[in-house]
Structure 1
Amino acid sequence: METPAHFTLKQVAESIRKTIAERYSRTYWVTAEMHKLNQTRKGHCYPELVQKEDASIVVEMRGTIWKQNFERIQQKFFEIVKEPLHDGMELLFHVKITYHPLYNIGLEIIDIDPNYTLGALQRERQETLERLNKEGILNSNQNLEMALVPKRLAIISQADSKGYSDFVTLLNGHPKRYHFNTFLFEATLQGDTAIKSIQDQLKRIQKVQQHFDAVVIIRGGGGEIGMHCYNNYELAKAIATFPLPVLTGIGHSTNLTVCELIAFRNGITPSDMAYFLLSIFEELDAPLDEALMKLPKQIQHLLQGTKNQFDQLTRAFQQEVQAALLLEKNTFHGMVKDFEFQVKHKMTHSNQILTELRNKIRSSSFYLIETQRNRQENSVNFLQVHTKAASNSARQTINTQITQLIRILPRTFEMEWTKLEQSEIHLKLMDPTVILQRGYAIVTNEKGVLSAKNQAASGDELKIVTEAQELKAKVK
């Protein structure tokens, strides 16, 4: 059998390379996510380019950026977006399709359009806003009511951040030394890691929300890419639905992010947010300053007016009192004279009545005393007679009863003694020992003595007690 015509693998690979080179001779603009940059020590990059649908990778292809191109692309990208290239970015690549016998089909990246990246961030921003609006939570945080004096602040920032340092310095450096209670919840504030980091700190704050009046998220300035995390839907939703007012001062951007738009209040910089909080204290403090300036004069004027009014009232009161006293004095003298006349008249009349009553009482008392004396004498005589008769009758009755008791008691004792002897004989006959001597036995099971209510059943173990012995039996 003859060997068929064939090609070596190298020949096939070379043919594919030539075909692809002829078919894809020009360059193309391709959108993809740079999953990993994969920069080498020599300066070349071999990024992994992917396309995702529903969070799943549907296409993956190898890319190549030679050192000289990478340095140019990186510099141009940083000048426009103020951030270096990094993993996970959606980019617009200017590519040439290539084939390598060892590395298969790939894309040689000639350039990257930084303006497309800015546009992608804007699209994410718009999609997040529309989604929050559709869910009805776009203005939820802005509709909250903040404390009249928001002095207890939960700050989400980095301890070594200049923005945090400026913010705290301004709050504590006011000439009037307004007092703020601040607590730092440290978080990453830039890039993709900031999303989860800020969300975690918001969850911590929510557990102790009763200790705070507001939440302040602050960071220093940065490029647009560094702030793309603030257009993320999950982070924006966490801020929109947070139960405390959220204040933001996260950079110098002129194009506000979603988190800034939906926050209770936003400032371009941390310093702006500090000035806003201080302005609340100043607005409340200004009327007090004005009042402190006016208060001494107003008090002095009020006291002088009150003193004048009091003096006038005092003089008028003294005149009224003197007139009232004079009138009452005259009235009182008239009443005293009238009273003296009435008393004298009543005394004369009363003396006459008393004299008449004295005479009547004197004659009536003598008659009553004689009458009572006669009645007492009659009562004493009557009691003497009847008491003697009653005593004799009671003595006869007692003697009769004693005689009857002497006659009846011996017979009664004899009858009762006979009853006791009969009861003793009956009890001896009922003694279980006597009954057993007569041939009877006591039969019991585990429930007690056998009876109509406790009858033996098959299998029961019985105990039989006679006068002479104790037996055990089993019912069959």
Structure 2
Amino acid sequence: MKALTLYELNNLVRGVIAATLDRPYWVEAEVSEAREVRGHCYMELVQKDELSATPVARASAKCWHSVWMRLKPRFEQVTGQTLHAGMKVLLHVTANFHEAYGFSWIVQDIDPTYTMGDMARKRQEIIRQLKEEGVFDLQRQLELPLFAQHIAVISSEQAAGYGDFCNQLDNNDYGFYFSYTLFPAIMQGEQVESSVIHALNDIFDRADDFDAVVLIRGGGATADMSGFDTLALAENVANFPLPIITGIGHERDESILDMISFQRVKTPTAAAAFLIDHLAAADSHLQLLGQRTVTYVNTRMQQEHNRLDHLTHRIPMLFSLVKTRQGAIIDRLSQQILSLMRQQLSQARYHLELIHGHTLPALTQRLSTEKHRLEQYGLRLKAVDPQIILQRGYSLTTLHGKAIRDASTLKEGDTIVTRFAQGSVSSIVKSHQNTSVKPSHIDHESN
């Protein structure tokens, strides 16, 4: 038996496929990969098990340049997105087998309404889940500070919309000052979700430095909105502690992020205008409060002025009345004081008389007793008077004015004085042993 070459075999397969799959088919599939090369679109299709999400079928598909240039604009216009991985599509395909490149499906048409339906189902599922988690309305429960001037901005650094936003803030008609800090992020493509979440985490670490977050896209294609319709990004925005203002699409394009944000605006310049108008409203409110305060103070001052005028006219009359009343009170008090003084004086006089009546007899008795005691002391003193003792024949010998009671205290040469009732004698001690005394002179003292 003669063997076939690979080309012959593939050519045989091609003939069989061309003979048996000779018409186009509509096929439902999920895009696992999509890329454009020189105007052609190359897709990898997959079908997943509904329970395990495990691929149960795979195939390649191609849409040639002539067809793709016609299908692409319509698809993106209807769906608002580019063809990307994870998107479910309904393709009109024909079978093609090439001897060198193998089998692939050739895309002849795409039904964008099918994809729209699938996208809508995904969006509704995300919205339902956010509401079940109780976070769908969290952002709208926040309050934007009256003086929201410190802004964190999430945007692409090169985006024209970011420049428009900054210029709008810097050159506002009111001369308000705003400070803004850019946290760069990728705003289109498959990396939108992770990039924006990373920027939000950076802002969260500095949450005390900002009053609000502005997430602006601007300048991108409408077809690049899919990155803002993911559950993870929506949960991060919904739970963020600062008000988030979104300006990521056009008027007719509302992403899930727009639905759950604190405030949705159309464009980056509209986001800047919202902040300026908010601060202007706060300024206007302050001016109104200032005017009300001035008006209130003026009114109150006028009322107080009128009250003072009224009191000024009443003061003389009130003073006269008060003076009369106070004079009567003083007179009454004076009479009461005078009466009390008289009563106190009378009581004091009575007490003095009682004290005098008790004191005089006691004093007389005490004087008599003390007089008798003095007489007794006088008699005692008289009995011990040295002169009387001398008159009895006694004498008193002294040395240096002190009485001598012991002869051994004298020494030779001492001059002693002996006093008698009449006169005195001075003597010099000659010999201590014999106690001989030589009178030196005699003084006669009269009594």
Question: TM-score scaled by structure 2?
Answer: 0.69
Aligned equivalents of 1:78, 1:305: Cα separation in 2? 72
Shift of 1:84: 6.0
2:214 — aligned with what? 216
341 and 115 in structure 1: CA distance in 2 versus 1, 3 angstrom threshold:
closer
2:316 to 309, 315, 318: 318
Aligned equivalents of 1:15, 1:251: Cα separation in 2? 53
1:271 — aligned with what? 269
Matches within 5 A, 1:457-472: none
Give the secondary structure class of the aligned counterpart of 1:62: strand
Query: RMSD of the TM alignment (CA)?
Result: 3.8
In the alignment, structure 1 residue 15 sits paired with structure 2 residue 12: yes
1:199 to 197, 200, 221: 197
Shift of 1:192: 1.6
Shift of 1:268: 2.2
Aligned equivalents of 1:243, 1:295: Cα separation in 2? 34
In the alignment, structure 1 residue 106 sits paired with structure 2 residue 104: yes
Give the secondary structure class of the aligned counterpart of 1:156: strand
Give the secondary structure class of the aligned counterpart of 1:226: coil
2:126 to 128, 132, 153: 128
Matches within 5 A, 1:154-303: 154-293=152-291, 296=294, 299-303=297-301
1:28 — aligned with what? 25
Aligned equivalents of 1:319, 1:15: Cα separation in 2? 131
343 and 89 in structure 1: CA distance in 2 versus 1, 3 angstrom threshold:
closer
Unaligned runs of 5+ in 1: 382-476
Matches within 5 A, 1:438-453: none
Aligned equivalents of 1:335, 1:9: Cα separation in 2? 141
2:93 — aligned with what? 95
> Could you tell me which amino acid in structure 2 is paired with residue 154 of structure 1?
A
Aligned equivalents of 1:347, 1:149: Cα separation in 2? 82
122 and 327 in structure 1: CA distance in 2 versus 1, 3 angstrom threshold:
closer
Q: Deviations over 1:37-94 (max 9, x none)?
A: 55556x5555444444455444333334444444444565566667765666544443
Aligned equivalents of 1:70, 1:293: Cα separation in 2? 66
Shift of 1:97: 1.0
Give the secondary structure class of the aligned counterpart of 1:280: helix
- Does the CA-based 8 Å contact 1:35-1:87 persist in structure 2? yes
Aligned equivalents of 1:237, 1:195: Cα separation in 2? 11
1:403 — aligned with what? none
State the structure with more CA Rg: 2
- Does the CA-based 8 Å contact 1:221-1:252 persist in structure 2? no
Give the secondary structure class of the aligned counterpart of 2:16: helix
Shift of 1:369: 5.3
26 and 84 in structure 1: CA distance in 2 versus 1, 3 angstrom threshold:
same
318 and 107 in structure 1: CA distance in 2 versus 1, 3 angstrom threshold:
same
Q: Structure 1 vs Structure 2: percent identity of aligned residues? A: 29
> Could you tell me which amino acid in structure 2 is paired with residue 24 of structure 1?
L
Aligned equivalents of 1:191, 1:100: Cα separation in 2? 33
Shift of 1:200: 1.3
Aligned equivalents of 1:14, 1:345: Cα separation in 2? 150
Aligned equivalents of 1:76, 1:346: Cα separation in 2? 122
- Does the CA-based 8 Å contact 2:139-2:238 persist in structure 1? yes
Higher helix share: 1
283 and 219 in structure 1: CA distance in 2 versus 1, 3 angstrom threshold:
same
Aligned equivalents of 1:220, 1:260: Cα separation in 2? 14
Shift of 1:289: 2.9
279 and 17 in structure 1: CA distance in 2 versus 1, 3 angstrom threshold:
same
- Does the CA-based 8 Å contact 1:222-1:252 persist in structure 2? no
373 and 167 in structure 1: CA distance in 2 versus 1, 3 angstrom threshold:
farther
- Does the CA-based 8 Å contact 2:82-2:224 persist in structure 1? no
Q: Deviations over 1:423-473 (max 9, x none)?
A: xxxxxxxxxxxxxxxxxxxxxxxxxxxxxxxxxxxxxxxxxxxxxxxxxxx
293 and 369 in structure 1: CA distance in 2 versus 1, 3 angstrom threshold:
same
- Does the CA-based 8 Å contact 1:191-1:225 persist in structure 2? no
Give the secondary structure class of the aligned counterpart of 1:251: coil
- Does the CA-based 8 Å contact 1:124-1:232 persist in structure 2? no
> Could you tell me which amino acid in structure 1 is paired with residue 204 of structure 2?
Q
Question: How many residues are matched?
Answer: 375
Aligned equivalents of 1:72, 1:58: Cα separation in 2? 31
Shift of 1:355: 6.1
- Does the CA-based 8 Å contact 1:121-1:228 persist in structure 2? no
97 and 335 in structure 1: CA distance in 2 versus 1, 3 angstrom threshold:
closer
1:437 — aligned with what? none
Give the secondary structure class of the aligned counterpart of 2:139: coil
Aligned equivalents of 2:263, 2:198: Cα separation in 1? 21
Give the secondary structure class of the aligned counterpart of 1:309: helix
Shift of 1:20: 0.7
Aligned equivalents of 2:96, 2:359: Cα separation in 1? 155
Matches within 5 A, 1:46-57: 46-53=42-49, 54=52, 56-57=54-55
157 and 370 in structure 1: CA distance in 2 versus 1, 3 angstrom threshold:
farther
- Does the CA-based 8 Å contact 2:174-2:280 persist in structure 1? no
Aligned equivalents of 2:351, 2:165: Cα separation in 1? 107
Q: Deviations over 1:348-375 (max 9, x none)?
A: 7855764674465344224235557989
369 and 44 in structure 1: CA distance in 2 versus 1, 3 angstrom threshold:
same
Aligned equivalents of 1:313, 1:17: Cα separation in 2? 116
1:417 — aligned with what? none
> Could you tell me which amino acid in structure 2 is paired with residue 16 of structure 1?
V
Q: Deviations over 1:310-343 (max 9, x none)?
A: 0221231332223322343355356546755775
1:61 to 55, 59, 62: 59
350 and 78 in structure 1: CA distance in 2 versus 1, 3 angstrom threshold:
closer
Give the secondary structure class of the aligned counterpart of 1:142: helix
| More displaced stretch, 301-310 vs 193-202 | 301-310
